[in-house]
């Protein structure tokens, strides 16, 4: 735990150093006490601080308050979320299918992820020049390449054709106004970065929360699986996805937690089921999404901000199979809770709120969350493997059944058995929707499947033409398969073309 908290402190401190290098051209005077790109990267500690700064853009994505929060964008785009936060305009632009390029959530994703890419580019350029232990150098470069790949993977799925920037930029750079690259080219860079990261000596697991070999191979499995679907439809990548997921499974380093309570217990972060997480620590860099998942001003928490920002629709919370443990009270969702004024008294919340993201200690005592935000966990790998094997082999194998049934057994629902390829495909997809709900995964899956989940009927429908249960008179169109490029970017870069329909 001490190592983990030190990592959080280092990220907070060294991010300022990572940012400072961009200011080196503003003054002509030379001051030996000022760092520049040319003078900073001289020793191993500089490599570490540069890489630490690449992690930081993951943090603001989960910031939540009365304006909602960036991460909510991917949840309201599924049609499975509801809100009581009337003043968060950006939520309703997405939720009601009237989104536009002024949406602040999309701008935040774009800006934070490109900030991470910029920092990664600088580290990848400069670290090779440092005289330091070669194995450590390669590991830092592997972390930088993983994070660059992660940011590009998010951007290409959200925005489609995007600029590829692989070098540091100043006012004289040719890439100051970059043109958009086709998604296939972006995926090419992502896969290249990740396969290079595989050649490092990163450990399979890192309990301090740094990038591990398990994270590299998990992300690569996800990239192969996604590129096998829409829009690229590179179906030859299904066996590659299965192979990478199997490497993670066969490593023996990860396991499903025994209980769902462990998914939101600060004591379990970076252990067990968790493969890669955004790092937080109470009183240093506290987990910051609790206000969004609290019911609006019902007095159940010590947090001063209780916004009602997001909760499940009733239809989705009720769509789990009969007897599914995930749907039981205070497993994935909760509909009543004790009052801060009197913990012996409770209140009906009026909706199914998200318990899998709920920090009990922070809400009842400290208002300082020690939870991490999960980016990849082992359940996701098992489900990716089951899906990829079924597509690669033309039928579900024994190993594919075992993978998905491990997830189902924890939920205390019957094993899948005796299914055709098509039926198994649907069953695994529905399992993904239920298991990974409200973890910023479902919309990405819907976009690559070109299928949307209807919780009222428990079936997957064509994405185009699908209607949300709360918006029956307005259907999804091809427009909603991407988010709009932010207005500020369109205004600043004349070489960008807006996505269709926006």
| Domain range annotation of the chain | 1-78+104-201, 290-371
Q: Which CATH code, of 1.25.40.890, 1.10.150.110, 3.30.1130.10, 1.10.10.10, is assigned to 1-78+104-201?
A: 1.25.40.890
Q: Is the pLDDT of residue 28 over 50?
A: no
Please give the mean pLDDT across all residues of the chain. Answer: 94
Q: Is the pLDDT of residue 35 over 60?
A: no
Q: What is the mean pLDDT of residues 289-314?
A: 98
Q: Is the pLDDT of residue 213 over 70?
A: yes
- The pLDDT value given to residue 3: 63
- Residue in the structure block whose two tokens are 């290249």: 192
In this structure, the strands spanning 342-354 and 333-339 are antiparallel
Q: Could you give the CA distance from residue 84 to residue 308 in angstroms, rounded to a whole number?
A: 5
Crossing angle of the two packed helices 398-411 and 378-393, in degrees rounded to 10: 150
Tell me the pLDDT tens digit for each residue of 174-202.
778 899 999 999 999 999 999 999 999 99
- The pLDDT value given to residue 40: 82
Q: What is the mean pLDDT of residues 96-108?
A: 98
Q: What is the mean pLDDT of residues 12-37?
A: 48
Q: Is the pLDDT of residue 131 over 80?
A: yes
Q: Could you give the CA distance from residue 356 to residue 434 in angstroms, rounded to a whole number?
A: 12
User: Mean pLDDT lowest for which of 6-10, 175-179, 472-476?
Assistant: 6-10
In this prediction, residue 173 has a pLDDT band, given cuts at 50, 70 and 90, of confident
Q: Is the pLDDT of residue 24 over 70?
A: no
Tell me the pLDDT tens digit for each residue of 387-397.
999 999 999 99
Tell me the pLDDT tens digit for each residue of 135-169.
999 999 999 999 999 999 999 999 999 999 999 88
Enter the tokens of residue 65: 């308050």
Q: Is the pTM of this model over 0.85?
A: yes
Tell me the pLDDT tens digit for each residue of 350-393.
999 999 999 999 999 999 999 999 999 999 999 999 999 999 99
Which residues are within 8 A (CB) of 435 and not within 5 positions of it... i.e. 6 or more apart? 326, 379, 380, 383, 407, 411
Residue 188 CB coordination number (10 Å): 14
In this structure, the strands spanning 311-312 and 274-278 are unpaired
Tell me the pLDDT tens digit for each residue of 247-263.
999 999 999 999 999 99
In this prediction, residue 20 has a pLDDT band, given cuts at 50, 70 and 90, of very low
């Amino acid at each position: 735990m001490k190592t983990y908290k030190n990592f959080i402190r280092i990220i907070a401190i060294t991010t300022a150093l990572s940012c400072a290098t961009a200011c080196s051209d503003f003054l002509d005077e030379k001051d030996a006490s000022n760092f520049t790109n040319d003078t900073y990267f001289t020793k191993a500690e500089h490599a570490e601080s540069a890489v630490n700064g690449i992690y930081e853009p993951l943090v603001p994505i989960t910031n939540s308050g009365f304006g909602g929060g960036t991460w909510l964008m991917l949840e309201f785009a599924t049609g499975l979320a509801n809100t009581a936060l009337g003043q968060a305009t950006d939520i309703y632009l997405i939720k009601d299918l009237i989104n536009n390029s002024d949406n602040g959530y999309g701008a935040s994703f774009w800006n934070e992820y490109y900030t991470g890419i910029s920092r990664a580019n600088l580290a990848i350029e400069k670290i090779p020049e440092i005289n330091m232990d070669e194995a450590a150098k390669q590991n830092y470069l592997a972390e930088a390449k993983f994070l660059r790949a992660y940011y590009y993977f998010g951007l290409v799925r959200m925005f489609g054709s995007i600029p590829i920037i692989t070098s540091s930029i100043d006012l004289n750079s040719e890439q100051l106004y970059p043109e958009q690259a086709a998604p296939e080219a972006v995926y090419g860079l992502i896969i290249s970065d990740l396969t290079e990261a595989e050649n490092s000596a990163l450990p399979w697991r890192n309990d301090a929360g740094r990038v591990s070999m398990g994270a590299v191979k998990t992300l690569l499995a996800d990239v192969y699986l996604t590129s096998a679907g829409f829009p690229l439809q590179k179906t030859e990548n299904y066996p590659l996805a299965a192979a990478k997921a199997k490497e993670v499974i066969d490593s023996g380093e990860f396991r499903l937690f025994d209980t769902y309570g462990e998914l939101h217990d600060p004591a379990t972060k970076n252990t067990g089921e968790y493969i890669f997480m955004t790092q937080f620590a109470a009183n240093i860099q506290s987990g910051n999404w609790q206000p969004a998942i609290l019911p609006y001003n019902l007095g159940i928490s010590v947090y001063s901000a209780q916004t009602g920002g997001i909760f499940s629709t009733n239809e989705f919370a009720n769509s789990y199979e009969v007897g599914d443990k995930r749907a039981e009270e205070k497993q994935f969702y909760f509909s009543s809770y004790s009052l801060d004024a009197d913990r012996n008294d409770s209140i009906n919340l009026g909706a199914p709120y998200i318990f899998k993201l709920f920090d009990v200690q922070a809400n009842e005592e400290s208002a300082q969350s020690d939870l991490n935000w999960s980016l990849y966990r082992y359940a996701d790998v098992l489900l990716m493997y089951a899906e990829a094997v079924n597509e690669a082999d033309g039928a579900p194998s024994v190993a594919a059944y075992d993978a998905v049934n491990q997830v189902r057994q924890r939920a205390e629902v019957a094993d899948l058995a005796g299914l055709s390829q098509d039926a198994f495909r649907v069953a695994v997809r529905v399992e993904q929707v239920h298991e990974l709900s409200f973890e910023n995964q479902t919309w990405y899956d819907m976009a690559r499947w070109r299928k949307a989940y209807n919780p009222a009927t428990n079936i997957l429908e064509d994405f185009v033409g699908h209607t949300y249960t709360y918006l029956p008179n307005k259907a999804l169109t091809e427009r909603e398969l991407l988010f709009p490029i932010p207005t500020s970017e369109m205004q600043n870069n004349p070489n960008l073309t807006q996505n269709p329909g926006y």
